[in-house]
Structure 1
Amino acid sequence: MSVLSLNALLPIALSGTQHASLPQFHEPKTALLQALQQHAHPSTATQLLRLSAVASRYERMVYQAPKRPENSQTLSLPQQSQNSLEGITPTLHTLFPKPNLAHCIAIWRELAQAQRHLPASVLPDCLEIAYSHSVLRPWLMPILGPQGLFLAQCNPKWKFAIGTDEHASDEEAWQYGSVFQRVQVLQQQRQHHPQQARERLQDTLEQKNLKVAKERKQLLEVLWLHLSEADEALLEFCLDDRSSEVSLLAAQMLVNLPNSALSQRMQALLPLLLQQDAKGKWLLEPLDIEAAPAQWQRDGIAIKPPSHHLFGSPKAWLLHQMVRMIPLQAWQQYTGMDINALWQWSATGDVKMWQDALRSAWKEAIFMNISQVDLNQLPSKILLDLRHNNVLHNMLVQCSDSDQEAFWQQQLGHILSLDDVVTVYILRPVNFSLEFSQFLYQFITQQLQPLATKEVDLKLYSWIASHQSTLISLVWLLHPDVATKLSQLPWPRYDNQECIPDYCEELNQKLLAQQQMRTQWQQALANCPTHPFES
């Protein structure tokens, strides 16, 4: 019976029950079971009405807690040893009220790696900033501890943190943990036992235990790790998910499996779009929406355009939807053109009128096939376009640490800036190696030298205004041996100036204060007991 039908019955079921007397029960479950048994009736309809009345009256009934025996002790959460936490608390308070996200993640990661919990005094503020910045939530969960988990149940805004503590087994975390904890369990299992992780996820999805589409999507994303042909059956099942986001994700994964049935269907779309003239020149012939079969909708091609989209005509919309689902390798094999040649071809002749739809779709295809794309081989125009739409940041997140550092060393200062380094760290925190940290420091010093001109004051002031927040973040991200140098940057001078401008000295002091705070934090963390919640 639907909720609407049941709601329609309740006024009838409750008629007269406001005068009924119900005994006071101390055990909620016992009270409800006894009441339901007493109101059993041979007629199904009558029994349904009576059960509805009992359940509703019970829900409204004031729960009478049993009196506590004299000399009994009040139960409370374990208390923290304040002395043991005095060293780390000041640093944590610097995160509020407006956190530097990279700084916050770096501190919380180190706290989790040291197997420590947050002090009670900062828990409400930490929960509040994690509520405002969802990117922080996975890093908060491991350090909440019993008191944090208790507080999460006291405020509806903090329900994202409701779960199990870090001592729970994988099975307990999977059954009762937050979505972040369940993702973590699945990731660990996927890393070492891909088949078992797939079976765990399949059982959960087939039982339809996950009602929230966002949670199903987050768990399904774990399959990107070690994605293989063995995952095809589960992904085909997910194509029929009631959420378009989940079904589209499944379709994107299947496109990355060249031998999957969906990938083969997508590759077969190319002959429908491309024709060669007598001179061998490729011509583009987009389809009318009326020609699109309904099956395409299940394969991730949205046939009906929304009321507002960027491509003008319904025909251009359908072209974009089709092209983004065709693997780039299929374009290259079918036309003989690499991505650079395709990009140039889209700006020629009659194809130019479809340029926006084509290029936008290819960018999505690059993102979906990042494991098969060498970012350093992409033309600068494509990289700039990807960066402008924040696609490049998400692509770098999926690269290995070594591939990511190699890309930074080639593109930093050309396509990417220091701000991008911090942005990508926030999306996927990693430990900066000594070599990479030295490279970043050298890049910063090189950026300063051209500023030594007659307009040194104006240029320096502008540079500092643009990079101050990033430099403060880097104090916490760089290798410790390199981070200490940031407070002693070689500021440029013009005509042998005797001193640097005040605002340079002010930034030096800020960076030095952050460096000292980092040193104190690490010392305090090393001296903090591993289990500060034990009484």
Structure 2
Amino acid sequence: MTDTTDLVADGWESILAAALLGAERAPPAAPGPLADLVTEADPGSALLARLALHGVHHLAGLDLAPDAMEPVAARDPAGPECPPAAAARLYALLSGGHAARERLREWFDLAAAAQMRPPAWLHQALMLQAGNLPETAGAVVGPELAWLAAACGEDPGGTPAEAPADWTEGSVAQRRAAFAAFRARDPGGARTALEAVFRKEKADAREALVGALWTGLSPADEPFLESCLDDRAGGVREAAQRLLPHLPRSLYASRMAVRATAALVIERKERLLRGATHELVVTLPEESSTLARDGVTPNPWEQRGGGIRAGLLRDILARTPLHAFSGHPPRLWLELALRGEWSEPIVKGLFQAIERERDPAWIQAAIDLLSEVCEGKVSGLRRTNELLGRWVEAVDMLPAAEWEARVTELIRARKVEVLLAMLGQGPDAFSERFSAALIDWLAFVIRGSDNLRRDLAKPWVIARLGERLWPGEDIAATAAALVARLPEDEGHDRLRQQVASMAETLELRVAIRRDFEQ
């Protein structure tokens, strides 16, 4: 027989009986704290209120796990708390919109550098935003949020699961991550282990694992990748075709070099009055099964609109090692390509090869040639938007310090349009010295003519500079002063909006740093 003592004691059984017999016949509520909460005069409403109160009271504590009341192990704080101003700033960023959340990474970077952590009162807000926190937040507050989630019996959302140690187990993504870690530790051993089971794997796993060979890629991987070119799965073949061009001494690279040098030949011609000249002779390639095996096939647009053979030439050059063109200086190849009938596919293919290898001689040659062309210093070649874009692309391949040095030269030359194009690319963060030079240049342009200010506003580059300029007090103050210097008429609304956005972003970044110093 069921023991009903507790049911009678808490009044639950009498309330159920009253619910069956009718509200008018319900017995009076037993005195106690729950009865005092029932204030309804109507018998039916009072019965419903009693039912709700006693039901919650009766069910409270049921279905708890056996260890629910066991105390959670204490956790020592992982460093000192950040200053109150920094904590208040973090709360504002967490509760703000998308623009505010973009500064979260910066806040956590500064907290990690200072080895500080948010106070406990922010943990709930951090847990609610766990999916939106940057990766850098894990080092600052990740362990504490995981501890708190475990203490509450919740899944610590936003904490990435560790990759399984065994790369043969788990989902395809987990296996790829584990295999990449294996490659980082032992490139040769990982490849040998993959070769042993490769043919037994499903196509999606084969594709993912071949792609993971990018970690630790070396000439020793060539035989295996070459065999993957004949895999029955297209994804596996494509994965190998993406990796092999990064092995400039491979058989794959040799095949591309043979095709490129057959398609492009520089001929020297003697002229009586003008001396020796050079001419680029182009022989467009044909489609073939061997080209297709190496991943060079017409794309759908070229198949519909023509230009198939020019597209094949572009893709061959993009996969060709630059040492295949060592018979002539890089500048000669580039200049003859610009002058030729097939300029667009040849230059595009060569630039893809340059970007892949980052050869300093080729980068320098491209920058020098294109800067001279855009400045009107090369006979027979004129500046176009496409060539300006190529110049920007070439300069963007430089390391950050060299990029800044090149762009600083343009700042001194007062070349507004070119400079704005360059600022559309470049490093994510500028040095303090370059930022000061750039903000001074902006002040010069804003003080200039209406035409200069209109040119400055056109590409919508200025607004994004706030993310990249050095967040120093002086630079932020100068940026704020620029807004006041702009004319008040409607013709400058576009520029005013951009400069104001830049100044506001800079001020916020400076304020975040100031918070940590208090």
TM range (shorter): 0.5 to 0.7
**TM-score where L is the length of structure 2:** 0.58
1:371 Cα deviation (Å)? 4.0
User: RMSD of the TM alignment (CA)?
Assistant: 5.7
2:239 maps to what in 1? 246
Structure 2 residue 349 is matched with structure 1 residue 361: yes
Structure 2 residue 462 is matched with structure 1 residue 472: no
3-state SS in 2 of match to 1:324:
helix
2:46 maps to what in 1? none
Query: Which letter maps to 1:284?
Result: V
**TM-score where L is the length of structure 1:** 0.56
3-state SS in 1 of match to 2:281:
strand
Query: Which letter maps to 2:110?
Result: E
Structure 2 residue 511 is matched with structure 1 residue 517: yes
**Superposition map of 1:270-349 within 5 A:** 270-274=260-264, 279=269, 281-289=279-287, 292=288, 294-301=289-296, 303-307=297-301, 312-333=306-327, 336=328, 338-339=330-331, 341-348=333-340
Query: Which letter maps to 2:370?
Result: S
1:450 maps to what in 2? 445
Following the alignment from structure 2 to structure 1, what is the Cα–Cα distance between the partners of residues 285 and 364?
Answer: 34
2:254 maps to what in 1? 264
* 2:313/2:346 contact within 8 Å kept: yes
Structure 2 residue 69 is matched with structure 1 residue 72: yes
* 2:284/2:310 contact within 8 Å kept: yes
1:36 maps to what in 2? none
2:126 maps to what in 1? 122
* 2:319/2:353 contact within 8 Å kept: yes
**Superposition map of 1:191-202 within 5 A:** 196-199=185-188, 201-202=190-191
1:453 Cα deviation (Å)? 4.3
Query: Which letter maps to 2:347?
Result: R
1:67–1:509 distance in 2 versus 1, CA, 3 Å: closer
Gaps of at least 5 residues in structure 1 are 1-64, 131-135, 191-195, 496-500, 525-535
**Superposition map of 1:343-422 within 5 A:** 343-348=335-340, 352=341, 354-373=342-361, 375-378=363-366, 379-380=369-370, 385=386, 388=389, 392=393, 396=397, 400-410=399-409, 417=419
Instruction: Say which is worse superposed, 384-393 or 273-282, in terms of deviation.
Output: 384-393
Instruction: Say which is worse superposed, 317-326 or 303-312, in terms of deviation.
Output: 303-312
Following the alignment from structure 2 to structure 1, what is the Cα–Cα distance between the partners of residues 407 and 332?
Answer: 21
1:163 maps to what in 2? 161
Following the alignment from structure 1 to structure 2, what is the Cα–Cα distance between the partners of residues 201 and 71?
Answer: 44
1:304–1:408 distance in 2 versus 1, CA, 3 Å: same
Following the alignment from structure 2 to structure 1, what is the Cα–Cα distance between the partners of residues 239 and 390?
Answer: 22
Aligned length: 410
1:76–1:216 distance in 2 versus 1, CA, 3 Å: farther
3-state SS in 2 of match to 1:288:
coil
Structure 2 residue 86 is matched with structure 1 residue 91: no
1:343–1:511 distance in 2 versus 1, CA, 3 Å: same
1:189–1:406 distance in 2 versus 1, CA, 3 Å: farther
Following the alignment from structure 2 to structure 1, what is the Cα–Cα distance between the partners of residues 102 and 182?
Answer: 24
1:76–1:187 distance in 2 versus 1, CA, 3 Å: same
1:443 Cα deviation (Å)? 2.1
1:253 Cα deviation (Å)? 0.8
1:281 Cα deviation (Å)? 4.0
1:68–1:271 distance in 2 versus 1, CA, 3 Å: closer
* 1:286/1:319 contact within 8 Å kept: yes
Gaps of at least 5 residues in structure 2 are 1-61, 270-277, 375-384, 488-492
Query: Which letter maps to 2:191?
Result: Q
3-state SS in 2 of match to 1:268:
helix
1:445 Cα deviation (Å)? 0.9
* TM-superposition CA deviations, 1:398-427 (whole Å, max 9, x none): x5454444444446667865796686545x
Following the alignment from structure 1 to structure 2, what is the Cα–Cα distance between the partners of residues 371 and 69?
Answer: 65
* 1:235/1:253 contact within 8 Å kept: no
Higher RCO structure, 1 or 2 (CA under 8 Å, sep 6+): 1
1:462–1:299 distance in 2 versus 1, CA, 3 Å: closer
1:250 Cα deviation (Å)? 0.8
Following the alignment from structure 2 to structure 1, what is the Cα–Cα distance between the partners of residues 335 and 101?
Answer: 36
Following the alignment from structure 2 to structure 1, what is the Cα–Cα distance between the partners of residues 170 and 395?
Answer: 30
Following the alignment from structure 2 to structure 1, what is the Cα–Cα distance between the partners of residues 263 and 437?
Answer: 49
Query: Which letter maps to 2:258?
Result: A
Following the alignment from structure 2 to structure 1, what is the Cα–Cα distance between the partners of residues 433 and 223?
Answer: 47
1:125 Cα deviation (Å)? 3.5
* 2:439/2:479 contact within 8 Å kept: no
Following the alignment from structure 2 to structure 1, what is the Cα–Cα distance between the partners of residues 457 and 186?
Answer: 48
* 2:463/2:501 contact within 8 Å kept: no
* 1:288/1:315 contact within 8 Å kept: yes
1:84 Cα deviation (Å)? 3.6
1:332–1:452 distance in 2 versus 1, CA, 3 Å: same
* TM-superposition CA deviations, 1:158-206 (whole Å, max 9, x none): 88x6224xxx9x969999999799979969996xxxxx45236536754
Query: Which letter maps to 1:442?
Result: A
Query: Which letter maps to 1:306?
Result: P
